[in-house]
Each structure stands twice: as C-alpha cells, then as structure tokens.
Structure 1
Amino acid sequence: MVLLRSCPNSANFSLVAYLHGLLMAASGVRFYQMRNPTGSPLTRILQVILAALRKRHSIIHDSVALQEIGEAVCLDGEDNLYTKRKEFLDKACIYAGDTSPWSFCSTTQLDETKVFLRMLPIFISSLLIFMPFTLLMTLTIQVGRTMDRRIGTFEISSASLIAIPIALHMFLQPVSSRFITPFLRRMTGDKHGISPLQRICAGSMCGAVAACVGALVESKRKALAEGHHLTRTETNDTMSVFWLVIQFLLLSAMELGSFNGLVEFIKREAPPGMKPAAPAVQSALVGFASWLACIFIKIVNRHTRYYQGGRGWLDGSNFNRTNLDRFFLLLAAFEFVALINFCFWARKYAKENKNLVPRLEDEGHNYCGQ
C-alpha cells in the first residue's frame, strides 16, 4: 500500500517482474527432474500405525518373514536401515490374510515410520526454538517504525523495514558458503562444515544473543523517550533505526542456521518419500511457532497484569510505555532453555543412529528381529 501510493506504476512493475520470473521458470522445465507421485509419506506412516494397532495382540516369531509387497515401495532405490530391537510397530508387517495397505505393510514402510518417529523429537524441539524468532522479528520491525528512519533527506518507509533482514540474509548466504563453511570444513573435516543439528544449535545461540541485544537497545530507547518526555507519544525520533542492525543481523544468522539446518537435516535423515517435503515441513513448523507465539504473548500479558497495575508488559500500541525490554529478556531465557532441550534430543538422536544396522536379507526376504 505504501509503495502504491509513492509510485503509481509500482503495480505494473510488479506484474512485469512476476511474468518475467514465470517465463524464466517455465523455460527450464525440460531440464527439471520429474518424479512420479508416490503418495503422501504421512499416509504411509499412518498405515503402519493403524496396521500395528489392529494386530496389537499378535505375536512376532523369529521365523516370521516380512515381505515387500511390490517394488514401488522402495523409493529411489535407497537401502533402509533396520534396528535389531523388536517393537510394537513391527506387528504391522505380520501377514494375517489381509493384503490391504491399512492392514499389511511392507518393511520399507516400517523403516520409514521408525525413522520419522526418531526424528519427531527434533521437530518438536525445533518448534520451540523457532517460536522466539517469530516474536523477535515481528516486534523489532514494529519498534523500528517508531524510531528515526531518516538517512539524510531520505526517509525509509515503515513498510520497507522488512527489507533490512532480507538484505542481511542475502548478504550472509554467500558469506557463509564462501568463507564460513570452508573454514569449518578445515576445522571439523566434515564436507558440510558442521552437521545440520549443529547448525540448528548455532542458529539458536544467535537467537538468544539477538534477544539480549534487543533488550539492551530497547532499554536505551525507552530511556531516551523518558528523557525527552515522549512516553505519551508512539514515536521516538531521538534514536536511529540503525541501532537495530545488529539485532537484525543476528536474527538473519539464526534463520540461516536453524531454518536451513532443519531443511538439511530432513533431506539427509528423512525417509526417501519425505525428503522432497523438507521445505514444507520447515514452513509448517514456522507456522505453528507463530501460532504458539500469539498464545505466549497472551500468557505473559495475563500474568504480568497482576503486579503491573493492571497493565501487561505488551498491552497497548505505545512501545514507549511497554516493558518490551523485559519481554526480550524473557525470550532470551526461553530460547536458552529451548536450546538445552534441543541439545538433549539431538544427542539422543545421534546416539540412537549409531545403533542402527543394515537390514538383514535372506534370499530376497526380510526378517523382523533376531
């Protein structure tokens, strides 16, 4: 809306840019690698769980052969891993006379389900890491709208502040691939520099530091507002918006580390049918994190009203009268606890992965258990 008012032809420019991008994408169709649809990976996982529940009273014997039902279930020709432990889900592969996919599952589906369930704690703990990010990014942009946005005679529009973290992210991406990753590769010997789980941890640490920096900047901004008697106004042009650059930089580093690290983790560790959905899983977790962030704000406001004279930390639209600095410190503490929780599950996941052994094969049949 701001751009449309300032530039009458901006809608035409946007349309031309969109059509240009669409033509560029269409021109490379013949070079794309097309894959035939293999069904939803979540459907395959639900089939295993339901089949195991239906046969929960069955007993797995050492001599029970668990056969693959068709070559289509072996996605991408990848070998799956199999644990030596007998588990409840193994009952989904017992043949009981019904070959329906909701009653009899292949060992490939069983392996995919087990891998997904091992990854589930990583997804949930990543969700807790992402929640402070959504609040920090949103609140930092909103605070920036109340600050001095002038560069000489030019003034940055409030709607354009979102471009600052985007530009910093675009700057950090090549810096990371050209300098940071090669340096870490020499230090660790890993071809990717560090593992995806380590990238998520590094991004989380950047988020915690960003919250602490945000608290310091907000304290200074509020002190200037009180010193210039601006607490009853919603602006504070005594402090430049560029004080937020360090905070935006750390948040961009968190996005580069944690968000991209989760996508890389899914592409490396997920079952073959789930790997193409890695960006969608990451986006879904960010969406859930945004939803949790709204609940978190309501909880904080409700509990802080009891000893704040009926006014919560984030009540009202005037940031000069809120306690945003305290809220940022609370987010830093939350991020730190989420990081500890993630490290626990990441270490547990890495330890369990070392216990995996290649699936046993005998004359074309797969066996469950030893």
Structure 2
Amino acid sequence: MKVEELKILIRMFPVWATGIIFAAVYAQMSTLFVEQGTMMDTTIGSFSIPPASLSTFDVISVIFWVPVYDRVIVPIARKFTGKERGFTELQRMGIGLFISILCMSAAAVVEIVRLQLAKELDLVDKPVAVPLSIFWQIPQYFLLGAAEVFTFVGQLEFFYDQSPDAMRSLCSALSLLTTSLGNYLSSFILTVVTYLTTQGGKPGWIPNNLNEGHLDNFFWLLAGLSLLNMLVYIVAAKRYKQKKAT
C-alpha cells in the first residue's frame, strides 16, 4: 500500500512542479506591478491612489469569476464534455496557465506604452511618474484574478481528489507550497536578470529609475517562461493517469 501511495505522489509531481512558475507570475502583483504603478499617474482630481491598492482589482476579479465560472462556464462546458464539473481539474489548471500568459503580456504592453511616453516627453533620465493613468494596469490585475480562480482552485481540487486517501491533507498543503517556491523563483529570476543586464555599467532592465529601464522585457520573459511552462504542463497532464476519487 505504501508503494502505491508513493507511485501516486510521483505521478503527481510534474503537475505540481508546473505550479511554481505560475506562482512566480502571481508574485508580481505585490512586487513589480506596484513598482510599475509608482511610475504612472496615480491621481484622480486631488486624490492620489496608492499603487499597491490596485490589487483590489485582483480581488474583484476573483469575486466576479467564481460565480461566473460556476453558474455560466460550467453548465456550458458540461454540455460539450459531459462531465459534472464541466472541466477536469487538469483542464481547469491549464486554462489558468494560459490566462497567466495573457496577464504578463498585458503588463508588458502597458510598460511599452509607458516607456514610449517617457521618451516622447523627455522623461527618460528623470525618475518621475509618466502621465499615463494607473488604471491602465487594471486588465493585468483582472487577468491575474481569473488565472488565480482557474489554477489555484483547480490545484486544490486536483490534489484533494488524486492524492492517496491517507495523505489528502498533506497533498493539499503541497499545492500551497508552490506559492512560497514561486516567490523564491521570482526573486532568483530577478537577481539573475539584474546581474546579466547591468554588465558594463548599463542601467539594466529594472533600475531605480524605471524610465531608463526595460521592465517590459522582464514581463515578456515571464510570459515566455509561462508559455514554456504551459507546454510542459500539457505534456505532463496528457501523461497523467487519473486515480478514481473515493
């Protein structure tokens, strides 16, 4: 019995590992998304919006997508797949990984527009905010919330249903471990990128003054890693042998 439980855990490992890249993308919400927001126009009339407060739109997105998923998407998907939940847990996670690519791409596009505006207004050498409304960040937060609903919830359901009966609590906790590992991975990627892009006295992609950097390249890098991660995930999901839930 112990051997069978170990085999189940080994089969689940590739699926679990692909959640780490997604968690690294998710970590940007509280780090570089905020840094990007500080260099944008945060004012509405006489009121200034704290850049970190835009994470509220991630929460709003989750609140929006949970009922939409249950009440709209699942019934439609059920007609095509014949499955009670509409999608399998693996399909649900895959959709979330795809949305995370769109999220990073949206962040990169916003940064490209911001840097172009900084260049046109001759603000490249000045560490000041560019007159581009911070509300242009809303799509990336909203997409991240959607990805969260699909991937994180799918992960919890997957690990609960597919783990050995005696190890369900442990496996559910393992799915949450991807969040902390994703934060470490994000820090590692940032360190490597900073080291490589600041060679020869260059300001690098993410200098103190983002107007002379290329934060868009970092977001594109994460989008590329997310795409690669999704392809690996598709292979792992196709090879995975489902365990009948008890």
**Taking structure 1 as the reference length, what is the TM-score of the superposition?**
0.62
| 2:221 aligned partner | 330
Answer yes or no: is the 8 Å Cα contact 2:203–2:212 preserved in 1: no
Change in CA separation of 1:146 and 1:311 when aligned onto 2, cut-off 3 Å: closer
Q: Does the C-alpha gap of structure 1 residues 267 and 203 become closer, same or farther in structure 2, counting only changes over 3 Å? A: same
- The aligned residue for residue 202 of structure 2 is 310
Please show how residues 6-17 of structure 1 align to structure 2 within 5 Å: none
Which has the greater radius of gyration?
1
1:343 has 2:238 as partner: no
Q: Could you list the per-position Cα deviations for residues 184-216 of structure 1 after superposition, in whole angstroms to 9, with x for gaps in the alignment? A: 122211111111111111111111111112111
Please report the RMSD computed on the Cα atoms of aligned residues, expressed in angstroms: 2.1
Aligned equivalents of 1:275 and 1:188: distance in 2? 27
Q: What is the aligned counterpart of 1:321 among 197, 212, 216?
A: 212
Matches of 1:129 and 1:157 in 2, distance apart?
26
Following the alignment from structure 2 to structure 1, what is the Cα–Cα distance between the partners of residues 130 and 202? 29
In the alignment, the residues of structure 1 paired with residue 216 and residue 149 of structure 2 have an alpha-carbon distance, to the nearest angstrom, of: 25
SS of the aligned residue for 1:231 comes to: coil
Percent sequence identity over aligned pairs: 29
Aligned residue type for 2:197: T
- Does the 8 Å CA contact 1:181/1:193 hold for their aligned counterparts? yes
Letter in 2 for 1:257: F
CA distance in 2, matches of 1:217, 1:251: 15
- Aligned mates of 2:171, 2:53 — CA distance in 1: 30
User: Structure 2 CA distance, aligned partners of 1:262 and 1:312?
Assistant: 36
Measure how far apart 1:170 and its partner are: 1.7
> Cα offset for 1:279?
4.5
Q: Report if the CA contact (8 A) 1:206-1:251 is conserved.
A: yes
CA distance in 2, matches of 1:340, 1:129: 13
Number of residue pairs matched by the alignment: 244
Which of 90, 98, 104 is the matching residue for 1:205?
98
What per-residue deviation string (whole Å, max 9, x for no partner) do you get for residues 274-322 of structure 1? 223454222211101110111111112222234x7433212x3222121
SS of corresponding position for 1:238: strand
Q: Match of 1:295, as an amino acid? A: F
TM-score scaled by length of structure 2: 0.90
Contact 1:266 1:275 in 2 (8 A): yes
Unaligned regions of 5+ residues in structure 1, if any? 1-106, 357-370
Deviations 1:164-193 (A, max 9, x none): 212222222222212112221222111111
Q: Distance in 2 between matches of 1:346 and 1:142?
A: 35
1:131 positional shift:
2.2
